[in-house]
Amino acid sequence: MKNQESNKFLGEERISKLLLKFSIPCILSLLISSLYNIVDQIFSGNSDLGYLGNAATGVVYPITIIAVAFAWCFGDGSAAYLSLCQGRGDTKNAHKSIGNSILVTFIISIIFLILGFIFKDNLLYLFGASSSSIELARDYFEIILAAIPVYMVANSMNAVIRADGSPGFSMAATAVGAIINIILDPIFIFKLNLGIKGAAYATIIGQIASLIISIIYYTRTKTFKLSLDSFKFDFKVLKNVLKLGVSTFITQMSIVVISLVCNIMLAKYGAKSKYGADIPIAVIGIVMKVFSIVINIIVGIILGAQPILGYNYGAKNISRVKETFKKVVIASIVVGVISTVIFELCPNIIISIFGSSEEIYMEFAVLTFRLFLMLVTLTCLIKMCSIFFQAVGEPLMAAIVSLARDIVCFVPLVIILPNYLGIKGILIAAPIADFIGIIITIILIIKFFKKIGYNSMENVDTVYLKKSKPGIIITISRQHGSQGKEIGKLVAEELKIPYYYKEMVSLAAKESGLDKEFVSNINRSKDILHDLYLTTSPVKYAIEAQEKVIKKIANEGACVLVGRAADYVLRNEQQVVKIFIYANRDYRIKNIMDMYNDTKSKAIKNIDKSDKNRASYYEIISGQTWGKIENYDLCIDSSIGSKKTADIICEYVKKISTK
């Protein structure tokens, strides 16, 4: 009950108070990550290396994003899978997903290391190194590359620590690494006179510290324990991990594409301008990292809003969804406007933090801040809306908003505009992409709010637990069109025990505070595999409430429960008979055509879709295969007729109950 009350708190507490509670830790965590990425450039730029040091680190940075894309793919994927396993009490596969992910991440890091050393100059030139910066970039890259296994494994492990219920420890591991980096940078660069190599050494020592802290945590985890068996390849588990982590991988690789194209064009057109190739590369690296601080504040705000948005959207409490959205929009605009004022009025102050006061360098840096980040407020709103769509279960809209600005608009503009405007065309590409992106975003936001309407939370049906008597609990899983619901009713009538189908949905809606229709549709959601592991997801709340209701029903005594993976939920109960009802395809097609007045082709399509969704839902909830005979006490072909099927089930149950 405590968990459910904490869920309902999201639908009742003052929104501004909830935002402060959830957003501030997110913002702090993301800012620490930003700091990790920015300190090398600050100290390098203030050393004798000047802007060439910034150019060198700027060239290497997007290459490290490729490494972290793989690490986060397996890290986030195994963290998600761990949460799924926690939900269904699966201790067998939880540790395997983590062990396999660490192992695969390590193997990929070794491959990355080998290929990096073989093709290091090719990579550095590809990402914008020039004849002037290549030596510095090489010195920095070789040291960073040597520790890439440490960097990748640490990032992979960090996500799992969060999923294990220790976000504070996860943040501490990153923070300690960042602090060590900050302390060692000036010592190595200035005092020991190691130059850019010193910056690299400081970075990898920080990474090693983060890894050690993560390893220490893995010796005292809360919900899983690693053993040698954890590291044996299990391709089925890895497949599920990849499914859950691939979206993170795509997001990170899109950043690589943007950085690659931008750096290539800056090097090309910079060489044709008075600024040369190195100054633009150095400046854009600084601008992008300063820009990332602003974006991370926005991301922290909207991530903090996710549980509020998700719960109230699931409860169809649309007024609170709109109020939360409005407050986040206002916060994003405030952050964006303040940033714009700073970037436009006093970019010199920011630039001076990164060293180098050469006139031509300062000229391009000021120009870049003022043009490239001209419409940063719109960028903030676009990013915020993309995550908003994720929070309310609209992944397609989220992808469109994100990709429209970055890939569809920005990348082509960066390639086309310099042909007419020279290097300034690259800088102007960003605000133009922002303008087009915000138009697309506004259209989708208006469409979304029109679709959900203005209704507040709907009342659920007045449904109560039915009185019963001690006896057998019958759970029925069934193929679509096999008449499972009708057969369940007949069995309940014959045995004179309560029947539950839609009643479970109404009771779960009442238990969770979510909308009945939302709860009803969770076993049809295409994105349940992604949504379920999120602790802030209304899908998770619905699943928890549904399982609790099923157990309450079982405590009342004998009954028939149709669907909702009830057989797995009640797996530890003594008197449960698990039934699976199936039928030949032609029989099921005819039933669907008769029940819904469908054409044959539509009936086939509905059967395939429904069975696929049921199988997916069951596998996610239980980790077992839906319809596999070993998982049931009785599997029966209902094409003999609903009445005969019900009679067989009743006879079977009566025979068991007399034993």
Mark whether 173 and 305 lie in a shared domain.
no
Contact (CB, 8 A) for 209 and 81: no
Phi, psi for residue 224 in degrees, rounded to 5: -150, 160
Mark whether 247 and 348 lie in a shared domain.
no
- Give the number of other Cβ atoms within 10 Å of residue 72's Cβ: 23
Tokens of 608: 């395939």
Output the pTM of the full model.
Answer: 0.75
Per-residue pLDDT tens for 381-398? 999 998 888 777 677 788
- pLDDT for res 3: 45
Domain that holds residue 122: 51-260
Instruction: Find all residues with CB under 8 Å of 5, minimum gap 6, and list them.
Output: none
Mark whether 582 and 630 lie in a shared domain.
yes
- pLDDT for res 453: 66
In three-state secondary structure terms, 334 is helix
Instruction: Determine the Cα–Cα distance for residues 258 and 412; give it in Å rounded to an integer.
Output: 10
Mark whether 183 and 60 lie in a shared domain.
yes
Tokens of 68: 């972290």
Per-residue pLDDT tens for 84-95? 776 666 667 778
- pLDDT for res 459: 47
Task: Please indicate, yes or no, if residue 16 is contained in any of the structural domains.
Answer: no
Number of domains the chain is built from? 3
Please name the helix (run of DSSP H) or strand (run of DSSP E) that holds residue 580, with its range, or none: strand 576-582
Mark whether 639 and 493 lie in a shared domain.
yes
Task: Please indicate, yes or no, if residue 9 is contained in any of the structural domains.
Answer: no
Mark whether 239 and 305 lie in a shared domain.
no
Task: Please indicate, yes or no, if residue 464 is contained in any of the structural domains.
Answer: no
Cα dihedral across residues 6, 10, 12, 17: positive or negative: positive
DSSP characters over 419-444: HHHTHHHHHHHHHHHHHHHHHHHHHH
Instruction: Determine the Cα–Cα distance for residues 51 and 487; give it in Å rounded to an integer.
Output: 76
Task: Please indicate, yes or no, if residue 446 is contained in any of the structural domains.
Answer: yes
Task: Please indicate, yes or no, if residue 316 is contained in any of the structural domains.
Answer: yes
- Give the number of other Cβ atoms within 10 Å of residue 186's Cβ: 18
DSSP characters over 51-96: HHHHHHHHHHHHHHHHHHHHHHHHHHHHHHHHHHHHHHT-HHHHHH
DSSP characters over 262-325: HHHHHHHHHHTSTTTTHHHHHHHHHHHHHHHHHHHHHHHHHHHHHHHHHHHHHTT-HHHHHHHH
Mark whether 212 and 332 lie in a shared domain.
no
Instruction: Determine the Cα–Cα distance for residues 405 and 401; give it in Å rounded to an integer.
Output: 7
- pLDDT for res 581: 93
Q: Which amino acid is at 637?
A: D
- pLDDT for res 91: 67
Task: Please indicate, yes or no, if residue 87 is contained in any of the structural domains.
Answer: yes
Closest CA to 125 of 139, 112, 138, 113: 138
Instruction: Determine the Cα–Cα distance for residues 196 and 144; give it in Å rounded to an integer.
Output: 11
Cα dihedral across residues 257, 259, 260, 264: positive or negative: positive
Instruction: Determine the Cα–Cα distance for residues 189 and 46; give it in Å rounded to an integer.
Output: 10
- pLDDT for res 500: 92
Distance of CA 94 to the CA centre of its chain: 18
Task: Please indicate, yes or no, if residue 68 is contained in any of the structural domains.
Answer: yes
Q: CA torsion angle for 484, 485, 490, 495 (degrees, to 10)?
A: 90
- pLDDT for res 578: 93
Mark whether 355 and 233 lie in a shared domain.
no
Contact (CB, 8 A) for 244 and 76: yes
Instruction: Determine the Cα–Cα distance for residues 451 and 526; give it in Å rounded to an integer.
Output: 19
Distance of CA 181 to the CA centre of its chain: 28
- End of a domain among 400, 433, 457? 457
Contact (CB, 8 A) for 384 and 445: no
List of the chain residues with pLDDT < 70:
1-9, 37, 86-91, 356-357, 393, 453-463, 512, 523-538, 658-659
- pLDDT for res 636: 93
Task: Please indicate, yes or no, if residue 8 is contained in any of the structural domains.
Answer: no
Task: Please report, for residues 311, 320, 503, the alpha-carbon distance to residue 10 in angstroms, rounded to integers and kept in the order given.
Answer: 7, 10, 25
Mark whether 581 and 545 lie in a shared domain.
yes
Contact (CB, 8 A) for 318 and 453: yes
- End of a domain among 211, 235, 260? 260
Mark whether 160 and 251 lie in a shared domain.
yes
- End of a domain among 260, 276, 304? 260
Please report, for the domain that includes residue 574, its CATH number: 3.40.50.300
Per DSSP bridges, beta strands 559-562 and 473-478 are parallel
Closest CA to 263 of 287, 291, 247, 295: 287
- pLDDT for res 90: 66
Mark whether 77 and 207 lie in a shared domain.
yes
Closest CA to 446 of 407, 408, 397, 410: 397
Tokens of 175: 């923070």
In three-state secondary structure terms, 328 is helix
Closest CA to 38 of 370, 287, 280: 287
Mark whether 450 and 500 lie in a shared domain.
no
